[in-house]
Chain A
Amino acid sequence: MNNDMHPVHILIAEDTPTDAEMTMRALKRVGLINNISWVKDGQEALDYIFCTGEYAGRERNDPTLILLDVKMPKVNGIEVLNQIKSNDSTKIIPVIMLTSSAEEPDIMQCYKLGVNSYIVKPVESDKFFEEVSKAGFYWAILNKIPNLR
């Protein structure tokens, strides 16, 4: 598989710790354990990606996949998506919205901004684990992701 060539580096932006933990657990089911970073709001996500703020000292190492919640404190997921997709150096990074919001306007806006996938988190845990694992498997393992370096 291609992650032999490019080690998968996933960024999860999620303000709810339980959702973040469950997302990581779901990814673990398909073997995605290493190199997962978790940020708790939109501002932190932007700082992480662009190596600013508290991540100013971080060596620029773009994630190979970003999972974004829509509803987050400070900067919401849609704004984060907008900044990622409007920056030449980051717009090729696949972004998945992983959110509770099934609102049509949100979905529409995300696609207009160039989101790669939009997944509504199921309330039921069996479904949640299954769907998030599948998404992780597809985007991080099955899908060929661009070589960023």
Chain B
Amino acid sequence: MRPEAVYAMRKEKLTKLSLALALLLLVAISYVSYRSTVSFAESARLVDHTHLVIKQINQVLADVRDAETAQRGYLITGDMSFLQPYDAVVTRLPDELTLLRELVRDNPAQQQAISDLDDLIVRKMRLLRLGIDTLAQRKGIDNAEVIALVGGEGRQLMYQIRTQVERMIAAEESLLVQRAETLESGTRATKRWILLGNLLAAILLLTAFFVVLREISEHRRTNRELAASAAQLELTNKELESFSYSVSHDLRSPLRAIDGYSRIFEEDFADRLDDEGMRLLGVIRSSSKKMGQLIDDLLSFSRMGRKHVDASMVDMNMLVDEVWKEVSIGHEGVKLDKQTLPAVWGDRALLRQVLLNLLSNAVKYSSNNTAPIVEMRAEKKANEIIYCVRDNGVGFDMRFYNKLFGVFQRLHTENEFPGTGVGLAIAQRVIVRHGGRIWADSKLGEYAAFYFSLPIKNTKRPSDE
């Protein structure tokens, strides 16, 4: 493979890889973002939960404190109405504790702490109840006893409860801080990842973009170069055409002189020339005639290359009949078997030349057959029409097929069949200029078939060059 091709392939691979990687990155970023959002929501929920736990702990503490305050009031005043808040606390405290336990179910350390708190509270509540009961039985109580009931173990217990609550709240708060930190660092990491990922994807996309951009500009440049070299080729071709034209043109004049002066010589000196002299003169004249023929054919071949293709719908039936009349003169024994032929888009004069060459060949090469017949067929394909000229003449050797359409190439000697070997070259030139193909097949001594295809077209005119 050529280095440019390898380079182009590498570039293509690079572009594809960049695009694939960018896509992958974007998918990864989406995933990270999603995960981050989910975990953010989860963290937020957890923070809320911690607040809820703290609130609930405080609630329990407040309840105990309320109960204690109520009992004290009762102890001091003996007024039963002071016990109302106490009763309320006794009723709801188990529920509040259950709720708290429920809230920290996922935290074994706090569970333990609640059990401890629960114990303390039970003891505290029992002590409070003892105080109340004592008063109720005695129907009166002195100050010293009240102080003993309020202070002492009760005070100690209250202190323990408060400490326990503070410890639990501290634990929850540290949890809160921890969670907030996790949340923040998670968010930071996510931000970093998204930023980095986006940056990478952007770089990759830019790379791909520039590669494609360069590819496009290179493509444009190549197209321009191609157009330039096509123009150059056209010019060279035209120069070559005009060269071959002027060469063959200039050759005609001396050739005419050779033939003309031989003729004059023959006229003026016939009486002084013997048979051998006349024969030699005859060779000069026939050779110059032959060369004239070659030059004429070369000229018409060159003209075919320069002639403008003037396309229109061509009635091939009419054209074949017209050409046949011309080529069958002097060969009345040859029969034409013609199918109805579809019309085609092309230059009538040029196609006439093609048919003239193919049909005259068919007549010429089948003339030795006892019952010569020339078949003209056509077949309509999807986007082309294939015409076929077939004769039952001498045919040609398929081994020399590559010489068949060459200029001045002949597969028969001048003695067998006269000709210059330009007819098929011209036919090929015309067909190619119409955007078609020409080909042939044969079996020596049996047949020769020439096919040419013409595009059914009509989107664009056949090339003018």
Contact = CB atoms under 8 A, between A and B. Distances in A.
Interface of A: 16, 18-19, 22, 25, 71, 100-103, 121-126, 128-129
A101 B264 CA distance: 24
Interface string B249-286: 10011111101111110000000000000000000010
Nearest to A17: B257
Contacts of A102: 299
Contacts of A25: 264
Given A123-B292, A123-B295, A124-B289, A19 B262 contact: no
A124 B259 contact: yes
Given A100-B249, A123-B295, A123-B296, A22 B255 contact: no
Interface of B: 249, 252-257, 259-264, 285, 288-289, 292, 295-296, 299, 303
Contacts of B288: 123
Contacts of A122: 256
A126 B263 contact: yes
Contacts of A125: 256, 259-260, 262-263, 285
B289 A16 contact: no
A19 B264 contact: no
A24 B254 CA distance: 17
Given A123-B295, A123-B296, A124-B292, A18 B260 contact: yes
A123 B286 CA distance: 12
B252 A123 contact: yes
Nearest to B259: A125
Contacts of B255: 123
Contacts of A19: 253, 256-257
Given A123-B292, A123-B296, A128 B260 contact: yes
8 contacts: A16-B257, A18-B257, A25-B264, A100-B249, A121-B252, A123-B255, A123-B289, A125-B263
Contacts of A16: 253, 257
A124 B290 CA distance: 9
